[in-house]
Amino acid sequence: MSHTFFYKNRYAIGVSVALIIIGAVAYITRTKKGEKMTEDFKLGNTTSKDGDLIFSMPITKFKEYIVVIVFGGISYATPSWIMNEVPKELLSKAIFVFAPYTMAYSSVAEKIKDFVSKNKIDVKDTSVIGFSAGALNVQKAYNNSFKFIGLIDPSTRAEYVGLPFTNNAKMVYNDDNWGGYPKIKESLPKLSEAVNKANGEAEKVALGHAKIPAYFFNKYKNKIV
């Protein structure tokens, strides 16, 4: 074996060791700054209330958070009911804020602003979702800057068909659930067409009204956060 070969290999080994050390230092530095690696993820969340709002906070501490606002509907579809329709996996990945349909988006946004300021939280993105009557709040506050916009068997109005939807809009509906509300029933297929034409995604399903939220959250759990 030549001396040249020996020294070349010793040099290569030295470079490899140096790269490993640099990588280890970088990992430790990132961890100290609060950036969580995959193996640090923990399943679970804690909840707190602020008036009619329910705040759900992941157990895992992230450097930045996605905030997901979810508006419930009329009657049984309270904030606590719709929270139970969200997979535990999702609640473990983002801050969820569950609101009644009677509360305007602007009022919810103010409460969230206070919450993140008090808890010194950095927000990366916001997703907004509405079920039934709560979807009216989402359509009224529509903004393309949201990471994700969800319409779950939504109540709607004719004027919302003309919203400037993009590919961040997702909708699951069954207009057959709206027989008692002919104007909504008539508008839903048109809203669906508008979402699909804008490269969003709208799907009609053969599910009862109360069954659609669980289907929606499972279908889009990798896009909401």
- What are the tens digits of pLDDT across the range 131-165? 999 999 999 999 999 999 999 999 999 999 999 99
d(CA 179, CA 114): 41
Q: Are residues 111 and 99 in contact, defined by beta-carbon separation less than 8 angstroms?
A: no
pLDDT at 167: 96
Phi, psi of 152 (to 5 degrees): -105, 110
Pick out the chain residues at pLDDT < 70. 1-39
d(CA 191, CA 130): 15
pLDDT at 12: 47
Domain 39-224, CATH class in plain words: alpha beta
Q: Read out DSSP for 6-71?
A: HHHHHHHHHHHHHHHHHHHHHHHHHHHTTPPPGGG----EEEEEETTEEEEEESSPPSSEEEEEEE
Tokens of 76: 């049984």
Q: Name the residue ranges covered by the structural domains of the chain.
A: 1-33, 39-224
- What are the tens digits of pLDDT across the range 29-58? 444 444 443 348 899 999 999 999 999 999
Q: In what order do the strands lie in the sheet with 169-173?
A: 45-50, 53-58, 95-99, 65-71, 123-131, 148-152, 169-173, 201-204
- What is the reported pTM? 0.82
Q: Is the sign of the CA dihedral 187, 136, 180, 205 positive or negative?
A: positive
